[in-house]
Amino acid sequence: MSKMNKWLLSSGLFGLLLALSGCVSTNADGTPKETGMIYRFLVKPLGDMITMLVENFNWSYGWAIIAVTIVVRVIILPLGIHQSRKTMVQSEKMQFLKPQVDIAQANLKKATTREEQMQAQAEMQKIYSENNVSMFGGIGCLPLLIQMPIFSALYFTARYTQGIQNSEFFGVSLGDPSILFVAIAGLSYLAQGYISTIGIPEEQKKTMKTMLIVSPLMIVFMSMSAPAGVTLYWVVGGVFSCIQTFITNVIMKPKIRAQVEAEMKANPPKTVVTPRKDVTPEKTEAVKKALNTTKPNGKGRNAGKQQRK
């Protein structure tokens, strides 16, 4: 379960892709319905803000997209940091519960009946509940539900705001796909993935290797056929994600780890599960060989023959 949690926390791109197609009601041609709630309260105001920046400050549509994206991301930044902090606290506490979790997993692995399996699963849940730790690592649905419509609105704003399709940004047509912007977007999310691995154990880094590759590939895949105006939104989002991940992983995480260690030292985790006598760890090959070649009295199989010689 922890691998899935890390995937959802570090990436979330698959859910974002679904949100982009589901949060805003669209017509048959893919354009947003002007009567939809997300369109009226988010897409249109954001589009009007982009147009206002262009008309009143003589900005290009590219700079306007960047400015609006930054403003919106700054507004929801505290929510993202709060959720990341909550998740890191739960994750650090789970490290102190690992010995008991390993015992419960061993009990579950050795269970031979349905009743024993249910008992082992109940033990696993009790370990977390008795120590006030979430089995899901602190990942909550509400922050994601709040952010998804906003990301969706930014996507549709960059795609369908009047004037963007016919404008250029540093010589790049915002109405046509741009390989340059696609490459920058992919690299920004690759950098974000790398930053997310700073300060975590090597064992956990191994489980995140797939995410480090898949996340940028998904962004590249989504950007290949999208107008450069939309890809520019992904570029800014990727750079901002790097900044947010640096704040949480490099600045906040060491402090949280020290805080949790002090808390666990003052209030050690409750012992909920103990090893069962009928559940023993698997023997290593060396131990098995020694047991097969040695009798209970400590003499080898050929000891008697050697003595008779």
Contact 100, 269 (CB under 8 A): yes
Distance of CA 35 to CAs 20, 45, 189, 233, Å?
17, 14, 34, 24
Return the domain boundaries, the chain: 33-264
Cα angle 147, 206, 283 (rounded to 5 degrees) comes to 130
pLDDT tens across the length of the chain (309 residues):
444 444 444 444 444 444 444 567 778 877 788 888 888 888 899 999 999 999 999 899 999 999 999 998 898 888 888 888 888 888 888 888 888 888 888 888 887 788 878 887 888 888 888 888 876 655 555 566 666 777 788 888 888 888 898 899 999 999 999 999 999 999 999 999 889 888 777 777 777 777 788 888 988 998 898 899 999 999 999 999 999 999 998 999 999 999 999 988 888 888 877 766 654 444 434 434 443 544 444 444 444 444 444
d(CA 105, CA 89): 23
Contact 258, 88 (CB under 8 A): no
d(CA 295, CA 309): 19
For residue 133, the one-letter residue type is V
b (16+ CB within 10 A) / e for 154-164: bbbbbbbbebb
Q: What pTM was computed for the model?
A: 0.72
Q: 129: which 2 tokens? A: 């509940």
d(CA 34, CA 252): 42
